[in-house]
Chain A
């Protein structure tokens, strides 16, 4: 029973995609159909895969390779919508490809960085770097935005994404995993996930 409960909680915690993301994505495609049909086709295909992952898949974890593809589909939309105002750099070493990690962990952190800095006029750079070191895998998502302390007050939404991810890590790995927020990074915010090296 305990494991069913955990599974349900995990499913609820991971099955997230902002509804406004979907609506804005469709609005973008509805214009690209006229101005850039090739890009419209590419994004529509990406959107189908994003939705298939969010709606169809019930697993709590998947591989780094799957997470990378999922994140890239998401980033395609961010870049189509915001042009060079938001740039995302992904650097995930290929030896991690087959290892498991919580679904949407990286894409969710990128989404968080976008969400909390979207109202700023400055160019936003988001950098995702993963490392395989000792008994751990770590991945950092860093941005040059406003940083944690000055995130707009929003009650639940304030650190909602991170709190959810922490619960997922707890349910999956117990104390073997950590989520670290770097408050002092100047400028910007940095979140680092440390996951135990489970094959």
Chain B
């Protein structure tokens, strides 16, 4: 599967002493366009050299390995904050220690594709947000990397690249998300949570299924029970529920965040 070159992919190093365990990770990563496998290491010593050379963003890391084990490897890296870690091991007895290392996730072998994808979602959020651990969504979006462009996959399987300035709103509808821009509308497969995690702080959740670009809000009127109605630059309107009102007002500069 070849993907357009403009997708920003996170670089993954797979570290496991068993060849089929590595092959499984590599196979599962191949299905996720957000990531690319840049290398494989058979033990902690090899991993150390590869990290130096390849500068990965994410390690999928076994614990019991010859030479340096997974924890010894992380010790040797002295808490390199630019590196996210997903542990993958058959033993649950290291889980507590793993969380002390600020690991994104702890996969217990044998895991399935769905569980692995969940770990990748968490890793993607951490890498994209640059935060340690999973912060609340509002904080995460405030920390979010400001991306000028975002690549989306439409339901037809095509990739489209949008300037984030042009995105007016994202609305969840069942398993799909409708992304409205100043000129058109796309229906994409990704989850709303995942999409909004990739967008910067201007994009604010206003309702369970709606994220709007604060820069495209043209009018905000009070409605019932503390809710409000926002009118957007494309003429559409959206309900801003009480829970999310503050975040939008803060983004519009009307109150202190």
Residue positions of A touching B, CB distance < 8 A: 20, 23-24, 26-32, 34-35, 80-83, 85, 118-121
Contacts and interface: CB of A to CB of B under 8 A. Distances in A.
Interface residues of chain A: helix, strand, loop or mixed (majority): helix
A27 B66 contact: no
A24 B18 CA distance: 9
Contacts, number: 58
Nearest to B25: A31
A82 B24 contact: no
Contacts of B23: 31, 35
B210 to A, nearest CB: 39
B109 A24 contact: yes
Nearest to B113: A30
Interface residues of chain B: helix, strand, loop or mixed (majority): loop
Interface of B: 17-21, 23-24, 27, 43, 45, 64-67, 69, 90-91, 108-112
18 contacts: A20-B91, A23-B91, A23-B108, A23-B110, A24-B18, A27-B90, A27-B110, A28-B18, A30-B110, A35-B20, A35-B23, A35-B27, A81-B18, A81-B20, A85-B66, A119-B66, A120-B66, A121-B43
Given A119-B64, A121-B66, A82 B90 contact: no
A118 B19 CA distance: 15
A23 B90 contact: yes
B23 to A, nearest CB: 5
A85 B24 CA distance: 19
Give me the 9 closest cross-chain CB pairs, A-B, nearest first. Answer: A27-B110, A31-B24, A23-B90, A27-B109, A31-B20, A26-B110, A121-B66, A20-B90, A24-B90
Given A31-B24, A85-B66, 11 more contacts: A24-B18, A24-B90, A27-B24, A27-B109, A28-B20, A31-B21, A80-B20, A81-B21, A118-B64, A118-B66, A119-B67
